[in-house]
Amino acid sequence: MSHALPRRAFAGLALLPLLGCTAPPARAQRGAAPLVTLPDFADLAERVLPAVVSIAVTSEARAEIPAELRGTPFERYFRDRLRGRGQQVMGAGSGFVIDPSGLLVTNNHVIGNASRMQVTFQNGEEYPARLVGMDELTDLALLRIEARNPLPSVSWGSSSALRVGNWVLAAGNPFGLGGSITSGIVSARGREIGAGPFDDFIQTDAPINPGNSGGPLFNTAGEVIGINTAIYSPSGASAGIGFAVPSDLARGVIDQLRSTGRVERGWLGVSVQDVTSEPGAARGAAAPAGVLVAGVERGSPAARAGLRQGDQVIAINGDRVETSRALVRGIAAIAPGQTVRLSILRNGRPTELPVQVGRRPAQPPG
């Protein structure tokens, strides 16, 4: 459903002057660099937009007792009066179909504590949706709808193949206006924005606005290489800095949600920090190695394996780790119960340490 924009929304627009409208078209000089041709995304948009949906969410906000009445004789009276009462809160976001049978991906924060979810396709078809599973740490959720016919769907692409400067398209439901698509480039990779321990965002300048959350970020082959999740904006609207969860991270999470409805991650039970050079270290000295173990949780998998404070972890199963985030992500990707081989430096001496990985708690200590 489309919504007319208020008249004041157009107040800041101005017509651009026509420059050189009487001059003949310029011709490329012999030997000059060829003119750059901008891509036309019309065919791509026509192909992928049918699989992109708008998601309307209804949740119930619980009525709160005024703070000044808590602990007073009036608290029970108001609690009895407000029991069962709440306010219906509406929200909107985006999503996309990954399986014709009716599986959709979106952001966890779009769903929240929804009591009702309604999915609308580009052709106006509407379906109620139910939650299959969600993962707060990566802000992803998987929904299912019961479709009357096979649905249009899109496939995953490889986010690791992206290069800074590649063209991308963001699709979704900005400001609740319905299906929309914007274009831009990959501005950066591996961004950390303080969202959680698994931050690894794709940054793009394709305009992303409120309501785009949960929508797909496509490459020029029409593959989903990211899920639009957050923006940096002083005004609340697009400022040309948007962030998407990379598909290589999202795909594993969604596969687990599809199989079991939850995500299980490996855990060592250590606090770690990046190794930095000592002050006054000689120029040309060897670069610091690995990740420093700052603490070991009592009774944790790391403690049972003999990992100690002061050890430096330099590899997991032979794969080098150079940052604390890389260590956390590497262990999290290992199924609980499996044994990994940690390559460590202890008092400057290399050694190997087998560790049986535990299950990451919902709120891991440290």
Distance CA 281, CA 140 (A): 44
For this structure, is 40 an active site residue? no
* The CA-based dihedral angle spanning residues 177, 178, 181, 187, taken in that order and rounded to the nearest 10 degrees: 60
Contacts of 327 (CB under 8 A, 6+ apart): 272, 291, 313, 316, 321
Active site annotation includes 3:
no
165 vs 44, 185, 202, 204, CA distance in Å? 19, 5, 12, 9
User: Of the residues 213, 247, 300, 343, which is catalytic?
Assistant: 213
Q: Which of 233, 230, 202 is nearest to 218 (CA)?
A: 202
End-to-end alpha carbon distance in the chain: 47
Is position 213 annotated as part of the catalytic site?
yes
Given 94, 109, 159, 205, the catalytic residue: 109
In 3-state terms, what secondary structure has residue 198?
Answer: coil
Nearest-angstrom CA–CA distance, 147 and 100: 9
Strands (E), the chain: 52-62, 86-99, 103-106, 114-120, 126-135, 140-145, 167-172, 180-191, 201-204, 216-218, 224-231, 242-246, 266-267, 270-274, 291-296, 312-316, 319-320, 339-346, 349-356, 358-359
Given the residues 54, 94, 135, 139, the one annotated as active site? 139
Assess contact for 142 and 182: CB atoms under 8 A.
no
Please list the active-site residues: 109, 139, 213
